[in-house]
Structure 1
């Protein structure tokens, strides 16, 4: 059986499983896209963000 037929039979045949597949796919895509965008943003702004330069401005705590 081809992959397309198997995917259709398992995930897309019934409305409930189709809706669940769409929702899970959207959540996974959103998570991956968000992490990718954050990674690109940090690479473009390397050494410009507060977490990269805060050691220059914060004083060490005496405890």
Structure 2
């Protein structure tokens, strides 16, 4: 176990620039994953009640003119 932790320390934490970069990349990835997941959950709960699902009922197509 100490070999794994030592390897992580030597590659990531030891250098301040690499450590901060890892934090920023991790925060960005977490934000992206949370936003994607919450949007997917919202869309599945509200399927059929959102504008993107019902706009074809109210919009006239260009072919009808």
Pairwise TM-score range, normalised by the shorter structure: 0.7 to 0.9
* Partner in structure 1 of residue 36 of structure 2: 35
Q: What corresponds to 1:16 in structure 2?
A: 17
Q: Which runs of 4+ in 1 moved over 3 A?
A: none
Scaled by the length of structure 1, the TM-score of the pair is 0.85
- Root mean square deviation, CA, Å: 1.6
Normalising by structure 2, we get a TM-score of: 0.83
Number of equivalenced pairs:
63
Q: Secondary structure at the match of 1:2?
A: helix
Between the aligned partners of 1:40 and 1:2, the Cα distance in structure 2 is 40
Unaligned runs of 5+ in 2: none
CA distance in 1, matches of 2:62, 2:47: 26
More helix by share: 2
Gaps of 5+ in 1: none
